[in-house]
Amino acid sequence: MVKIVKFGGSSVANAEQFKKVKGIVDADSARKYIVTSACGKESKEDYKITDLLYIAHTHIKYKVSVDDIFDMIEKKYHSIKDSLGIKIDLDAEFKKIKEDIEYDNDVDYLVSRGEYLTARMLAEYLNAEFVDAKDIFKFNYDLSINMEKTNEALQKVIKTDKKIVFPGFYGSMADGKIKVMSRGGSDITGSILANLLNADIYENWTDVSGILVCDPRIVNDPHRIRAITYNELREMSYMGANVLHEDAVFPVVEKKIPINIKNTNSPDNPGTMIMFSCEEVDKENPPYPITGITGKKGFMVITCIKNHSASEVGFLRRVLSIFEKFNISIESVPTSIDSVSVVVESNKVKKVLYEILAELKDNLKCDDVHVYENLALIAVVGRAMANKRGMSGQIFAELGANDINIKTISQGSDEICIVLGVDGSEFEKAIQCIYKKFID
């Protein structure tokens, strides 16, 4: 049995958390390959090391003193070192980092030092081997991971009997220079390892006991999702559920490796299993009709009204090409006989809104163009909704009974996700109603 275990920033935020990590790793000999993020926040008021390192980079760039920032970073690592009684020479490490960035203030190198130092300390504390991610995770020029080269490098280092700790989040380019992934990238590091080492399971340890049916800030103490398919998870993450890095799913899907989201602060809680097939998932968790409810505020609907636009060949394409020209991605396109509505993220469209409206009016000769500013999208996700008669009807009826107006509706033909648009002011209430009716 091979397990890849990834610990997020909150799991290594201080010495107490390091001790919990040790308890988890030592409890299971299959937990052999460990990936860590950089130390995260100890409390709401605290700072993530990665954020501090990004700020340090900017200070140096604009020649603002960086001493205070480095003080905060060094203090954090020293306090963990002192409490754990490990020997790493942090003064020498920081001296080298400062010399390196004085020579070349390279942002990727500097921010990667968060994971590097955290992994060095964790490896020592766990009596494991430290393997530097820059020697293993090789990027192609398009910044995808070169799986072949990465595998070659990996096979050379795994011959040890000891456990191995890898820093997450970074790797190197062909010339050996350090390159970081996008934020939250340690999830991807773990997922790539799981793929290349044909892991039986990828454990992703964080500070919540798995994925909840909906946001606990909206519904008090929502149920945990015991098991979910990758497809359902993709739908939920896209619509705002912040569980795993988006790109962390693909490497494990390829090998059908289950992911287990677990809580470092409550290791006995089984968390959430993310699995490949509905049959596997249903064994763990006979489904409610709905697996999860998620969503986002901050959308805009731009509606082009033109008589008979539904039958005008090429009209829809021309509308969409205007958005493409301004590089705006589109969420959905509800249409009616005389209108085409385009749902987009407000933030993305704000800067070019007037130009888009002008083009729609002048070039497409729309009779009118309306803008609806405050749309929230709610995704109701569930593998058990597929082929279930009356499901959307029940959802709509429930919202109607609670006096919530549905502004847009969309559902793909795989029927695992229904996306509803409601006014932003009714977002929370709509989620609460759906939860209450179908889950609680």
Contact set with ligand ASP (CB under 6 A): 9, 37-38, 48, 50, 114, 168-169, 183-187
Q: DSSP state, 384? A: G
The residue among 184 and 421 lying less far from ligand ASP, judged by its C-beta, is 184
Strands of 259-263's sheet in order across: 129-130, 164-167, 31-36, 3-7, 201-206, 259-263, 272-275, 227-229
**Cβ 356 to ligand ASP, closest distance in Å?**
33
**Are the CB atoms for 171 and 179 separated by under 8 Å?**
yes
Closest alpha carbon to 369 in 378, 382, 356: 356
3-state helix, strand, coil in the chain (%, to 5): 45, 20, 35
The residue among 187 and 359 lying less far from ligand ASP, judged by its C-beta, is 187
**Cβ 6 to ligand ASP, closest distance in Å?**
8
Q: Classify 398 as helix, strand or coil.
A: helix
**Cβ 108 to ligand ASP, closest distance in Å?**
12
**Cβ 219 to ligand ASP, closest distance in Å?**
27
**Cβ 8 to ligand ASP, closest distance in Å?**
6
The residue among 114 and 295 lying less far from ligand ASP, judged by its C-beta, is 114
**Cβ 39 to ligand ASP, closest distance in Å?**
9
The residue among 12 and 60 lying less far from ligand ASP, judged by its C-beta, is 12
As given in the structure block, the two tokens for residue 8 are: 């997020």
**Are the CB atoms for 76 and 39 separated by under 8 Å?**
yes
The residue among 116 and 125 lying less far from ligand ASP, judged by its C-beta, is 116
The residue among 37 and 195 lying less far from ligand ASP, judged by its C-beta, is 37
The residue among 48 and 76 lying less far from ligand ASP, judged by its C-beta, is 48
Q: Report the amino acid identity of residue 100.
A: D
The residue among 182 and 277 lying less far from ligand ASP, judged by its C-beta, is 182
**Cβ 89 to ligand ASP, closest distance in Å?**
23
DSSP string, 325-357: HTT---SB--EETTEEEEEEEHHHHGGGHHHHH
**Cβ 38 to ligand ASP, closest distance in Å?**
4
> CA dihedral defined by 250, 32, 127, 16, rounded to 10 degrees?
60
Cβ contacts of 113 within 8 Å, gap of 6 or more:
53, 97
Q: At 303, phi and psi to the nearest 5?
A: -110, 125
**Are the CB atoms for 127 and 169 separated by under 8 Å?**
no
